[in-house]
Structures are given as structure tokens and as C-alpha cells.
Chain A
Amino acid sequence: MREKQLLGIIWKCNLCGFCPKDMECPGYDEDTRWESSFARGKVSIVHAIMQDPDLRFQNSELAKERLFSCTGCGHCEYICPSGVDVPSIIYLGKKKLVEADNYPEAHKKIVENIKNHGNPFGETQPRDASWPNLKGNVNADSIYYPGCMAIYRIPEIALHTLKLFEKLGENIKVLKNETCCSGILYRTGHNELLYDLTNSMLNEIRENIPKQIIFTCPGCLTAFKEIYKSELKEKFEDTKLLHFSEYLVDKISKLGDLKSKINELLKTTIKGPIIWHDPCHLARGLGIYNEPRAILDAIQLPYAEFNQTKEDSNCCGSGSGVRSAYPELAEKTTIQRLEEVKELGAHTILTACPFCEYQYKSVVEKNRYDINVIDLNNLLSELISLL
């Protein structure tokens, strides 16, 4: 979106202060409760930056901390009676700070890694070498886009997903020129790099238009569906862009009688009770929260819900580069979630976002919580193995 348009959105904020001032806003500083740390303040900061001839605000350390500690979870937008798109305003603010070279060191590394290696981690080889063979499958008109997290950090997600595709008889391929979706670049203020870093991948799609692209990462799906549309004018008019749960929901019976294996699964691999975590980008951002639940209901998996769910669910704390720039803040938010899991008596968090899973897993491990975290596709694939 153009700056002028975004300024119009800033003016829609009527400063009513209805936006969250508690764990609903991971960036809020509950200890000191400064105005600048919740959405109304962050919107004000961006307003100040847009009216800042002497760059006082653009060069401010506090502006940097406040804007870059926003996970882009969108909870404020959901609550806002005026429907203000706060995350987009904050992305604009970050962009202005990046222009002034005032942004977290950790993000400099991410940008360099994506530029040099096509992924934010700077990895040169995927963790698991078995799945890239699919690049050779030129006949498939369905694409699976696993995203960097599943390729380099939690390869099980990609491998289990491939197993599900196989069982469903889906002829699938991955992109030859697959690179980071670069959603993280947009969310950390580096919009200007988007075109160059995604162009060869997008050209491959444009040259051979697929029927559908299926994603396991809600962040990548959001990049394709929303960020490319607004920033690159790429609309994918003839291609369906689907989260795996959307793709699967009508086909679940094809995976076999999974419900007959639920008890066995709960006795062996997975420790119940299970609780479902709605990833922000998936549930609030894309409105996909009924599909995963329909899948769970179809296989008759008993699961609990958090106190706040679906569009109103709380963030895991890791999005938009917060995990890398402000790990303590991200951890604090995750711990609040884990405490809620404990309070609700659950032992396994089930979700459908590699980022949420990775964040939960690392905080669980560091703080020795007796809680497991598992991706929906892993669970389904485990059930298939039991058939």
C-alpha cells in the first residue's frame, strides 16, 4: 500500500483506546504500562513519524523498540471498533525506520541471509535431503510450498505433509526456484526487497500456472495471498492458494478410518489432553479456523480450547521478527500461553503453523514445561502409520 493510503488509515484511528492492554497484545509492556507500548501508542508513533521533518522520531531508539516489538498478530485490529488495520500501519512505521537505518541488528542478519541464501537462517542445505526430489516432477499442477521453517528447522512437517499428499494420491511438486516467501521482509520494513527476492520464484509460477498452491505455513500463505497482492500487484487469479487444512477438509475420509486409531495414538505417541492453538495469521488473518476443527471433529479427536479462540485467540509471541529481535519479550508471551495450557490441564498443543510450533517448542524446552507441541499434519500422518 502507498504511504498516502496508509496515512488515511492512521487517521481512522480515533484514539479511543479500545485496543488491548494485556496479553492480547504481545507488545504491551504490562510492567510499566507506557502509552507507547500498546496499539494506540504505536499508531501515534507512526503518525509522528509521518509528520517528522527533523527526523526526531524516525531516529528514535524508543520508536524502534516499540514498533519492532509488535508481532503483527492483529488482535488490536480485531478488537478495534473502527476496524483500523494497525499491523499495516506498524509495517509502514518499520519501513520508515529502516529508511533511517534504525532497526534491530538481528533483522540485518535475516535480510542478509535471505539475500544470500534465500532463507532467513542462512542455511545452505535443507535439514532433510529426501523431499527436494519433487522438484523434478514437472507434470504436477499442484504445488506444495513448505516454507523455510519446515525446510530448515522442522522438516517433519514437510515430510509428514508429503506422506499425506501421497495417501491422497495428489500429484504434487515443489517449485524449482523456491525461495523464502519474504513475508518476514515486509513485516520488518524491508518492502523494497520483496520484488527482487521473489521475482524468479513468481516467474516460475507465472510461466506455468498451477491449479493450486498448498501451504503448511500460514505466514507464507499470507505473503502469497495478501502481501504479494498489495505490494507486487500479483493476484494469482487462476491459482487457488490454500492452507493444508482447507485443502484437506473435504478429503479427510480418503486418509482412511483415522478415528479408529485415536485411542491408540493417545496411548502411545501423544499425551492428552490436547489443546488447539489458532495461529494468528491463519485464524484472525485469513479466517481459517473452522477447517482445522472440522478435521479434528471428523477424526473424533478430543481436544480442548483456549479461553480465547478463533479470531479472538492470543498470539504465541514470535511473529514479525520479534523472536529474533526481542527474544525475552517473545518468551514472556509464550510463557503466558503455556501457563494457560497448564491451567486448562492440557499436555499437548496441537497447531498448524511451523512458527508457532517452533516458538512453543523452544520455550517448552528452555523452561522445562511438561508440554508437547505437534503439528496437525504430523498427528494425521502418525494416525496413518497406525492403520
Chain B
Amino acid sequence: MPLITLERVTKIYPPYFRALNNISLSIEPGEFVLLTGPTGAGKTTLLKLIYREEEPTDGEIFWEGLPYSSLSYNDFLKIRRKMGIIFQDLKLFEDLSVYENIKLSLDLAEISLPKKRAEVIIYDYLERFDLSLKANKKVKFLSGGEKQKVGFIRAIIRDPDYIIADEPTGNIDPLSIKEILSILKELNQKGKTVLLATHDPIIIQQVEAKEIYLHKGELIPKC
């Protein structure tokens, strides 16, 4: 059974802007999916529908065969706790430190580790992204690239079963991009589902994955 299924999904932003038109697709568990397309194609919109920040105007989305409309608020919270989402606009808590932002992600996923253990794991990732010296700095004082790294760590720290990454590499240097991609691949090899939206040709080249190409809200079959 597919993990996520979209059936003739249309999203119209008020007053009248058709961001997605009649999209049908499915994502299997454990798949690595690349969501590509030019700016404004509707990639972020599609992801928002999947993690249910937005509701479709028409059509239905299914999670493991269950329609979203039948899932209660609390059911969906449980699903979200297993998701690691990297938002295009990051959505970090600017007044909290790097460490607190990441720790909060663990807390909200209701993952309770001993304090020391959590600290070790968090510092491990910070080390990997060269951020350990900034652990106690407020996020608002970080550079764009650094913020993006924090957003990435926050998403994967909770060991999510499903990773939704919206343009996670926009402002980052090539070395860190490599790091991010290798972590994503690693996670995928462990059986996690990865959904990566990007328009960066370098990434598209580097990742071997099923590609979903969007253009002006339409699904375009790639030859």
C-alpha cells in the first residue's frame, strides 16, 4: 500500500490562483522522491498539502490508505511527530538558541531521552555541520546558511520515519550540501521515506531517485 496518495488534488489560493491542478500521484514507503520544477511551480504547496498545513480545494489525500478528511487532529499530530520537516521559510524560533530549537523538536516529538544523551546527540550533529561553537547563540544572530543547517538538524534529530525537505540547500556551501545529501541518502537506506523538493540541478544530478516534475501546478511526465 502506498504511504501517500494524491487523487486529483487541486489547490486554489484565494481569491483565484490555481497553484496545483488535478494532481494524482503516489509515494511508496521507503522511497526517495525528488520534487522538481521551476520557481512557482507549486512544489511547496504540494508539500504543505502533504503535511497538512493547507487543505486541498478539491480531491483527496490518503495516508496509508486513509483519507486525510477521516483523520482526526490528534491522529495527524501523531503522524507529524514521526515527520522531519524542513520548511522553505525554516520556521525557526528566532529568539531561542540553536540548541534550544533543536531540543524543542525532540520534546515536541515526545522523544524523551536522558538529558546527557540528548546533549550528546545534538552536539554530534552540530559538530558535523560546524555549528558546535554557536550552540548557545540565538538563531536570529546566525547567517542564512547557518539557519538552514539548524533547520535541517532540527528535522532529522528526532529520527523521523518520513523526511520532507523543502529546498534544504538554498544558501549552503557545496561541502554542507554534500553532507546533507549523504545524510538523506543514509536515512533512506535505513528505510525512511524522503521527499525532497528542489530546483537545484546539481542536486538533481547527484541523487538517484524517482522524480516528480511540476510546472505551473501541473504534473509533467518526464521522459
A and B interact physically: no
B contact residues vs A (CB 8 Å cutoff): none
